[in-house]
Amino acid sequence: KPHRTTQLLSSNTLQYRARAVPSLFLASSDDSNSDANRRQANGMAILPSNVVKYSTVPKDKFFTIDTIPTGLLKEHSTKEGTWGIIRVHQGKLEYTILEPEQSVHILDAESDNVGIIEPTMLHQTKGLTDDLKFVVEFCRVPGTGDVDEQREGL
């Protein structure tokens, strides 16, 4: 599989529902299943524009270098229809996308990088700095399934 390391461009914070979301991360509002497979230049998926956030983990706090769940450090994926957004609030995190092609992304708060997690695609994370603080937001396209799913270890 091809391998590349990228540093994401700075962007505004993603907003949900009635607020605009920067086009760098979003497909057009007339998304179809084929549009969901489109990618940013760095290999990361483009988040559908009509996603709705339904959960953030951990709740009311952050994962740190010492509290990252083991499941996030090894290969894992979300369920069909579940998108994720990794938001680093402090420090640096390595986000490796393993499918459909491998790409490595360094996420950090200083450049306002976010990691887009595509449904069912294998990925993993690795903390890079001792001061790391991050959350993972989960969202779905309306009508694609239950938003009350349970995630192991989170």
Backbone angles phi, psi at 70, to 5 degrees: -55, -35
57-75 confidence digits (pLDDT tens): 999 899 999 999 999 999 9
Determine the pLDDT at residue 34.
44
Q: Identify each DSSP E strand in the chain by its residue range.
A: 5-7, 52-57, 63-64, 82-90, 92-97, 103-108, 114-117, 123-127, 133-140
- Residue 32, class by beta-carbon neighbours within 10 Å (0-12 exposed, 13-18 middle, 19+ buried)? exposed
**Are the beta carbons of 62 and 103 closer than 8 angstroms?**
no
Q: Which residue has the higher pLDDT, 16 or 122?
A: 122
Report which residue type is found at 76: H
Residue 151, pLDDT above cutoff 70: no
Please provide the average confidence, as pLDDT, over all residues in the chain: 77
92-107 confidence digits (pLDDT tens): 999 999 998 899 999 9
